Amino acid sequence: MKTKASLLTLRVPNELKHNIKLMAEQQGISINQLALYALTKEIKEMQTFNQLEKYWSKKNEDEISGDFASLLSRVKEKNNTDDLPDWDKI
């Protein structure tokens, strides 16, 4: 199933356009594919940051420290098994 696409025109500085073109050529993809990938990745990172910021803003420093300590203890418990190769142990 094809998704509908819409046209978005962006004005970018000449140097950025040149860099985008070079990077797309190096990757063997079109400028459009590279721009779509970069925009999608950045938007997802911004959304993740906003969600984490909202989550952490509701907690005080003691709660954050406690959550971190709890998480770290679970990592250490899982890390102390013989199932892990030596290079992956803390």
Q: What is the pLDDT of residues 23-50, one digit of tens each?
A: 999 999 999 999 999 999 999 999 999 9
How much of the chain exceeds pLDDT 70, in percent? 90
pLDDT of residue 88: 73
72: its two tokens: 């770290």
pLDDT of residue 2: 73
Q: Is the pLDDT of residue 1 over 80?
A: no
Q: Which residues contact 80 (CB under 8 A, 6 or more apart)?
A: 89
pLDDT tens digits, 47-87: 999 999 998 899 899 998 998 899 888 877 766 666 777 77
Q: How far apart are CA 15 and CA 17, in angstroms?
A: 5
Q: Are 35 and 20 in contact (CB under 8 A)?
A: yes
Q: Which residues contact 22 (CB under 8 A, 6 or more apart)?
A: none
Q: E strand or H helix at 55, and its extent?
A: helix 31-57
pLDDT band at 13 (very low <50, low <70, confident <90, very high): very high
This prediction has a pTM of 0.61
